[in-house]
Each structure stands twice: as C-alpha cells, then as structure tokens.
Structure 1
Amino acid sequence: MRLSRAFQPTLKEVPSEAQIASHRLMLRAGLIRQTAAGIYAWLPAGLRVLRNIARIVREEQDAIGAQEVLMPTIQSADLWRRSGRYDAYGPEMLRLKDRHERELLYGPTNEEMITDLFGGAVKSYRELPQVLYQIQWKFRDEVRPRFGVMRGREFFMKDAYTFDADYEGAVKSYRRMMLAYLRTFQRLGVRAVPMVADTGPIGGNLSHEFLILAPTGESGVFYDAALEEQDWLSEPVDIDDSASLAAFFDKVTHFYAATDEKHDEAAWAEVPEGRRREGRGIEVGHIFYFGTKYSESMGISVSGPDGAPLYPEMGSYGIGVSRLVGAIIEASHDEAGLIWPDAVAPYKAAILNLKPGDSATDAVCERLYAAGAEIFLYDDRAERAGVKFNDADLMGHPWQMIVGPRGAKDGTVELKRRATGERFELSVEDALAKVLGA
C-alpha cells in the first residue's frame, strides 16, 4: 500500500478520552475510530491486525481438530429460557423484539445456541468428542465501557465448545485446548500466563484465565516468579495422548498462579517469600469446564453405550481477538508509538522515501515495493523526513527501510529494526532478504 493513497488518519495530539496507552496509540496510529460508547470502527490497518490475530487463532484451533462454524449474532430468547439464563443474565444482555413481537437478543455468548445445534445433529456417544468453534462479533452492554477495545461493548471473539462422553474425555479436551492457547499466544509474540480462575456458581476446579501481565490490567494476580522463566512448549506434546497431555498440564500448573478471586493464602504461604509476586493482568483468554450444565438444562442427550440417554460433558473456551490488539500494545510500545510483533503487524515494513522525485531514490523504493507490495507500506508522501520517521515509529512496523539520495546512488538501504533500534546498511537484495526472511 502506498501511504499517499492509504486511509490511515494518524493524529498528532493525544486524544483526551483515551486513558491508557493502547487506546491512545490505536487512535493516534489510525487503527480505530469510536462511533458510539464502547463501539469502534476498525480502519484498514487495524483490521489487518485483527485478521492476523484471528488467522493464528484459527490455525491453532484447527491443529487440535476443532471445526469452525459461524453462528448468528442475533439469538432467540427461547433458547436462553431453556437453559434458565434469559432472566438471570442481567442488563449486559441487549434484548430486542422483531416486527412480530418475537423476543430476540444480541448474543453475549453462545453456549445455548451451540448446544442446540449439537443436539440437532449428534445422536450417539460414538460421535463424540466434538469440538466446535467460531470467531464472531459479540455484544455486552457494559455499564462503563472504557479503555478502548480493552473493555468495549462490541467485541470480536473466538469461542469454542467441547462435547465429551465422560469426565475423563472432558479433561483431555480441556488440556488440549490449554496447549492450543499457549501455542497461540507464543505465535502472537506475547506471554499469557494461565492462572486458576473463579468458576462462579457452577463450581469445580477446571477454569483458567490467560493473562498478560501489565500494570493497566483489571485483574489482580498472585504468582510464583519462577513462572517468568518457564517455557511450557520446549518439548513436543502429543495432542491425542492422555499421558502426554497430563504431563504437559502438570508442568504448566506446577507453580502457584491465581487471580484475586481464587487466591489461596495457605497455598501462597508455601511459595518462597522471595518468589512471591503480586500485580495486575489483562485477561485475553478463558478456558472453562462446566460439565452437563447446558446439555441437561436444555434436554440435549445422546444414546450412551447401554442405550440410555447420556448428557455430554461440555466446556467453553474464549479468546478475546479484538481485546488482544489492545493487550499486545500495552505489552509492546514505547514513547514513540507501537512496536508490533512480526506475526500481527499490519505491514511487515515501511519503505521511507526521503526524497520523492529524485530518480535514484524513487527507483530503489519502487524496487523494494515491488518485492512486497502486499506486506510493505510505502511512504511516498511529499513530507519532511522527520514526519516520516515519526509516523513510522508511531505505526510500529517491525522494519523500516530508509532510502535517501546518497544511499540510492550506491544501491544501499538503511534498515531499522523498530523493537531494538538496530540499524543496518545493506544492499537492496540483502535488505529484502533480511526483512522477508524474518
């Protein structure tokens, strides 16, 4: 994309309504614009980031055998009455009626709908397990939407649901999903720590939130500092082997880590004092086992081994795709702007033409651009060099390929790595090889 033609409305001034870094930078870098309280339009660069995150989430769900569906955003109130949640959910649910006075709602979550869809298709325990997921927009009418996409009313989310014949199968599905989540966050370039989380009125002990440690996080967390050195994915894990998954799960959950709702003072006292850490975290994912809560309440069963009705054991698994954009920025920025991890950046590199109209400079820039027009942003604007440098840092491209008249005559490019500030003087071929091979 040529920046002179791009819809990339950057801002020089810090927006007064933005209270945290991710909100300020997303507005300033032209990723989003607010259209109503807690509701945002995603502009081209922001949408590219959103799609990159969704692609990685999707690939890791597919890798564990999950199957993608797409459910509607509008749901029937009758489905929620079957589970008993329609009246209990609260004012966060947006309720509406159609022209025939049928009661509908804008889905805040999809347990009821997926359970109904499952029940209409699966009839025998032999068809289990099943893992279904979607990446879809949701709406919750937050009383105080704030912090940009971190706590908006409309949000983009991956939600998955597992159906198993028994508890042992459900635990295996849970552990497999935990593995997929850790692989996902590793590919996104962030460290999200799984912590024991509150299961609410359902009870049980299979619930983990994945939190990116950051002072702006809304969740209080307590954890063993030894977690900061752990590499849970250092050894391969066979996703179909129960023993391998159990060993992996034990390794992940070996050290103390809990949200404030599940903080256990007795267990905390057993952590060596020098390793105790307290802080804040941004929740970016949640995995949750809830047994037969929905299958029983909605009357969804399959034929068991003895022919008797069997209510599938279920779990739900969410990743906040749009929230991750903000969380990644909170974990990766500086005073100059965004610092995108390579995997999610809207563009892999910015080409900075320091003297548009100079034939040699233009020729080198065009040569670079031709090699990666889909993944390079070419700053061909008739602006001062300082403006281009500032905008490139603000937008956070992993690489900057800087071309001026002096280097162009020699066929060289100055390459800057945004995350470290490292600079390299390279030939055009070597610069492209370094950027495209990163």
Structure 2
Amino acid sequence: MTHFKTFIATALATTAIGGTAVAEELRMSWWGGDSRHEATQAALQVCGEKYGHTISPEFTGWSGHFEKVATQLAGGTEADIMQINWPWLPIFSENGDGFADLNDFADIIDLEQWPAPLREASSRNGALNGLPASLSGRIFFFNKTTFDAAGIPVPTTMEELMAAGPVFRDTLGEDYYPLEGTGLDASLLIQMITTQRTGKSLINPETNEVQWTAADIQESLEYYQQMVDNHVLQAWRDKAAAGNVPLHENVNWTQGRIAGSYQWDTTYFKISDPLEEGQELVPSGLLRIEGAMNDGVYRKPSMVFSISANSEHPEAAAQILNCLTTEPEGIAAMASARGVPSAAVAAAQLLDTGAIEQIQVDAQNMVLAAEAPAISPFNEDPDVRAGIEDTLELFAYGELDSAEAAEELLMLVNEALEDK
C-alpha cells in the first residue's frame, strides 16, 4: 500500500508540471531562414522540456507557406501553434473564429506583455487571433553627418524637412537630397501625410471601407510634388533612370548624398551598415505637417503566433506559446530571430544580454509612442498596394494630374476591396 501511495504521489507531482494532466504532443509551423529555424527549434526543445510536452517542428521558406497554411486550415489539419503573416488574419479568420481566441487563455499567457494597440491589431471581431512576434513601423532616419555638412539640424517637422531641400542644393550641390521616396516609400509617405491631415487611416479596419475622399488624396499628392519641386526628394523619373537600386546598395545613400529615408524601424542596421565610415544615421521618429491631427504612424505586427481553433490541446499550446514569448528560457533561445520582440519582457531581457542593441529598441519605442488610428490588414493586400503605387508612378511621370490621380487611386483601392 505504501508503494502504491508513493507511486500515485510521484505521478501527480510529475503530471502537475505546468498545470496539465498529461504530457501532450503538439505541432508548430512557421516560415523563415536557417537562423530562424535553428532558434525556434531550440526554443521548442527547452519549452517542451519545461512543461513536459513534445512539439514537432514544421518549417519552410516563405515561398508556398501561405498555400500550405490555407490547405491545412481548409482541411482542419493545421499545426497547434502557427506563425501567421498579419495580413492573412482577415483571410483565414474573417469573423474571428478561424483561430483560437487567446483571451480565453489569459490565465496561461501573460497578455499584458503586449501593448493594447498591438493586441487590437491582431484581433478580429473581438477575438485575439494572434500575438505579435515583432512589430514594424515606418519612421524617418537621417544622416546627421550630411545635415551637419549642410549647416542645419536634423529636421523635427515636415516644414523643416521641406525647407532643407533648397539648403542642400545650394550648400552641398544638385545631387544632394535630404530624403528619398519612390515606390512603396512614396506610397507610405503620402499615406502618413493624409492620415495626419484627416485623422483617419486609409481603410477602416472594422468596416473595410476607404475613409479618404479624392480631395484628401489630391491634397497629399500635391504636397508630395511640392517636396520634389523643393529639392527634398529626387524625382521618380530620375531615380528610375539610375536603375532603381535598393537603398542599402545605392552609392548616393552610402556616401551620404541622400541623407534621409522613411523606412521600417527594423531596417536600421540594413541601411546603416553600408554607410561609409564616419557617417552617423539617427532614427528620428515621425515628422508632422502643420495642423496634423496625429503622427500618422504606419504600425503593424510583422507576424503573429496563433493557436489553432481545432487544437485538441489548446491549454498545452498556450503554455508553449507563453514560454516562447515571455519566459526566460524561451526568450533566450528565440533571441532576435524575428526581430525585436513585441513582448516587453522579451525585449528587456534581450537588451540586457546584448542580443539586441539600444538603438533598435529606441526606434521601436518611437513607433510604439506615435499616435495614429489603427490600420487595416487590407492595406497590405497586393491589389491595394499595386493600385496605389501604379497610380503614384503615373502621377510622378506627369501622365495624370493630381485630381486625376486621386480619383484613379480611390477607384482602384475600392475595386480591390470589393471582394474582401
């Protein structure tokens, strides 16, 4: 009898680990490169050992991952834990029931580690469908060395940036510009200006309807053209004639002749490392136009961790998800494989251990502190993006005037949203 009691006590102690009755077998899927694969597998190992679960990894490259997840979700064969691209949420969970509601696991997952705006951005119909692994947002970066050479400080408002154009031209030369902006960079710059002016984002994330008028868009297009005319931006046509080289490979950037860019905060080292020795690139947050109603920040989760609505072991999956994102073992193993973590405790731990640098945290804090209405995942829809960028290029080349371009852009975005 004594042996039986000892056996029961031992069994209860073992199965009580992490609050689950038995060790579960789970699956986790994600996309990425080798470094992400290695880090995630290491994190799954330590978190699985901590809670007594076994987690089978399922990883691929980016190409084909959407199709794989779509097929699995359609057949109910998806992994228990999934890395999901943020714009996929309305596709796979139109009404919020395509993934588990992580609010139901608030006693297991430390949800307060994510700022409320990020939780809201990852929710559908009130259901928290994912927790952001990391955050991306657009801010300005300026080459302080070039601004010093021009004899002016790094701008803090759009008016100061506008005034810097002629100073660069007259002081440094015709081939010096305080900012660059074509393609997606131009699109998001114009969206920032319009959001600041109207107080609204392009697409209402609740109704999926466009919130700007043609007049709103036209005014921002004319502001963009004024930046070109004032030598703030190199003309789209001139940039294309030079080959549309990526910014970090552009000799005009690396040598400091282009002294600013409106970029994702996560690209700091990508665009700063190629700069020639002695140049200093500083993150400068968001610059406001006169009369702005907010900062107009374009802020989004880069990817989220979701739990399957069909998982047979959702509590165990929640334990592993919490370990990966907020517990020391998981944080250390995952490190910065997905950028600066969105969970506050993870970012603090990685900063303390030197896994990320202060300037990365500073840039992300600028994104988090900026004020603006939430954006819709449909802003990232390929048809929406193409409609905006194609129209802007026609405007930049003078094939459409500002009024025509505004009407065309509005029509194309509305058309892209019709079947969403």
TM-score range, shorter chain: under 0.3
Q: 1 or 2 for the larger relative contact order (CA 8 Å, sep ≥6)?
A: 2
More helix by share: 2
TM-score, normalised to structure 1, is 0.23
